[in-house]
Amino acid sequence: MTAPTASPFIIVAIDGGAASGKSTSSKVLAERFHLLHVDTGSFYRGVTAEFLRLGVSTKDHTAVTAAAHALRFGTKLHDRSAAMEIGGRVIPDTEIRSRIVNENVSHFAAIPEVRTALLAYQRGLADFAREQNFRGVVMEGRDIGSVIFPGADFRFFLHADPLERARRREKEGHHDSITERDRIDSTRKTAPLSCPAGALSIDTTHLTPAQVVETLAAPIAAGFAAR
């Protein structure tokens, strides 16, 4: 008699710079394959908003470390997406996408203690997804395929021409200096933004959102079919 096979649970890691197409495609993939959608950028943004509220400066390493240790995370499900709670509160989107957060987030995200504070929380969302009966997780960020889930079933790296990315962000109506954030994210010492070895690298400059989705969905569908 053969042992019953566990229902497949997959982890999809999508990394890339600002406005490279991560969020749009991750949300569609989550819907199509019944995966929990996790936008880790929103977590770094939430932590940044909290630090700013507390008056913690990026330059005061001791204060940042103390504030990072004191963070208490929880999770609320918003449709298919994991919304992070800090001290029992989900910080509203308007706040985490504000100009002040845009200007500060990469500076806080470059501090190792801040990244460590979020590491276990992000990995734990795979268990949260299982508890909620999802078939897997699609997690987007800068270090998902390299640090958070290096053994993910699928690892993608999206990139696009900087001018095209600036145009996309402007269309969304956000004031955002994405080149500056990319510069800080790519040159930091801890978990810099880069294409992890073995990940599928996709240039989205001349692709429509639907074409990006199909490029990512094809290997995932094949992976599910093979299990």
Q: For binding to ligand CDP (CB under 6 A), which residues are involved?
A: 18-19, 40-41, 44-45, 105-106, 109, 141-143, 178, 181, 185
* Smallest separation (angstroms) from ligand CDP to the CB of 203: 17
Reference 142, options 184, 100, 198, 80; nearest CA is 184
Nearer to ligand CDP, 59 or 222 (CB): 59
* Smallest separation (angstroms) from ligand CDP to the CB of 90: 15
* Smallest separation (angstroms) from ligand CDP to the CB of 106: 4
Question: Strands, E, within 89-219: which ranges?
Answer: 89-90, 136-141, 154-159, 200-203
Q: Which secondary-structure segment (H or E) carries 28?
A: helix 22-33
* Smallest separation (angstroms) from ligand CDP to the CB of 94: 14
Question: Can you read off the two tokens belonging to residue 140?
Answer: 């987007």
- Pairwise CA distance, residues 71 & 69, whole Å: 6
Question: Can you read off the two tokens belonging to residue 159?
Answer: 């990139």
Q: Which residue is nearest to ligand CDP (CB)?
A: 41
Nearer to ligand CDP, 85 or 103 (CB): 103
- Pairwise CA distance, residues 183 & 89, whole Å: 31
* Smallest separation (angstroms) from ligand CDP to the CB of 142: 4
| 7 CB-contact burial (10 Å; exposed 0-12 / middle 13-18 / buried 19+) | exposed
Nearer to ligand CDP, 33 or 44 (CB): 44
Alpha carbons within 13 A on the beta-carbon side of 59? 0
Nearer to ligand CDP, 108 or 134 (CB): 108
Helix (H, G, I), strand (E, B) or coil at 139: strand
Q: How many residues does the chain have?
A: 227
Nearer to ligand CDP, 99 or 227 (CB): 99
* Smallest separation (angstroms) from ligand CDP to the CB of 220: 20
Nearer to ligand CDP, 1 or 120 (CB): 120
* Whole-number Cα distances in Å, 47 to 51, 85, 196, 222: 6, 10, 25, 37
